Amino acid sequence: DSGVTQTPKHLITATGQRVTLRCSPRSGDLSVYWYQQSLDQGLQFLIQYYNGEERAKGNILERFSAQQFPDLHSELNLSSLELGDSALYFCASSPARTSGGEQYFGPGTRLTVT
């Protein structure tokens, strides 16, 4: 158990819908990262937050957005869903904004868009 929690574990929804994925980092970790894992794209970095502020952006679509709240939990919002958005979405956390720090991954949310 990494200490990172993600809800829900599974999500099935229809095209065009909007969903929210939730992540609680390890106690004391200030950085939260979101990654997408799909068969065709592999593991891709989406976005990073540090202590409530956006820190870095990766290959995140404009239909996707995220935020980190004062209690440090984070939410990833996916809207106007398409079939290609079906994937595993991971959240990871790390203690601080320092070089070489390992990231601890949650169990993931499996999103299926039908």
Partner 1 sequence: AQSVTQLGSHVSVSEGALVLLRCNYSSSVPPYLFWYVQYPNQGLQLLLKYTSAATLVKGINGFEAEFKKSETSFHLTKPSAHMSDAAEYFCAVSGDFGNEKLTFGTGTRLTIIP
Binding residues for partner 1, per CB under 8 A?
2, 4, 31, 33, 35, 42-45, 48, 55-56, 58, 90, 92, 94, 97-108
Q: How far is the CB of 11 from partner 1 (least distance, A)?
A: 15
User: By the 8 A CB rule, do 80 and 59 touch?
Assistant: no
Which residue has tokens 């937050």?
49
User: By the 8 A CB rule, do 58 and 45 touch?
Assistant: yes
Q: How far is the CB of 86 from partner 1 (least distance, A)?
A: 16
Q: How far is the CB of 73 from partner 1 (least distance, A)?
A: 17
CA angle in degrees (0–180, nearest 5) for 82-88-91: 115
Of 15 and 56, CB closest to partner 1: 56
